[in-house]
Amino acid sequence: GEDVEQSLFLSVREGDSSVINCTYTDSSSTYLYWYKQEPGAGLQLLTYIFSNMDMKQDQRLTVLLNKKDKHLSLRIADTQTGDSAIYFCAVASGGSYIPTFGRGTSLIVHP
């Protein structure tokens, strides 16, 4: 089955850019998602990208997809303390929209 890997922690300074990386194994993956989880809360869908896209930008968020390397990244520009949370990468293939989630990257933003 699909395996989705993320680094567990990322620490950045307020105002810098954050880049959270994710790798997956199934080359037929069609839908790729980024979720944000704040402490004690459920997951919130931040953005998604289809496999026929290389990049998607939404305000401070930029998603890059490298299908050849099966690598997905989320860049947060001008990172703020309110961006501190756990960010989950999730990947699903066509036919079954049930995604496989990574273990999450804990983003810590310090002044």
Site of interaction with other proteins (CB under 8 A)? 30-31, 33, 35, 40-45, 48, 86, 88, 90, 92, 94, 97-99, 101-104, 106
Say how far apart CA 90 and CA 4 lie, in whole Å.
Answer: 7
Q: Supply the minimum distance, in Å, between the C-beta of residue 101 and other proteins.
A: 4
Residues in the chain: 111
Cβ at position 111, least distance to other proteins in Å = 25
Q: Minimum CB separation from other proteins for residue 48, in Å?
A: 5
Give the residue with the Cβ less far from other proteins, 98 or 111. 98
Considering the complex, state which of residue 32 and residue 76 has its C-beta at the smaller distance from other proteins.
32
Among 111, 108, 80, 110, CA closest to 8: 108
Burial 44-53 (b: 16+ CB within 10 A, else e): eebbbbebee
- Do 40 and 26 touch, CB atoms closer than 8 A? no
Of 3 and 54, which has the nearer Cβ to other proteins?
3
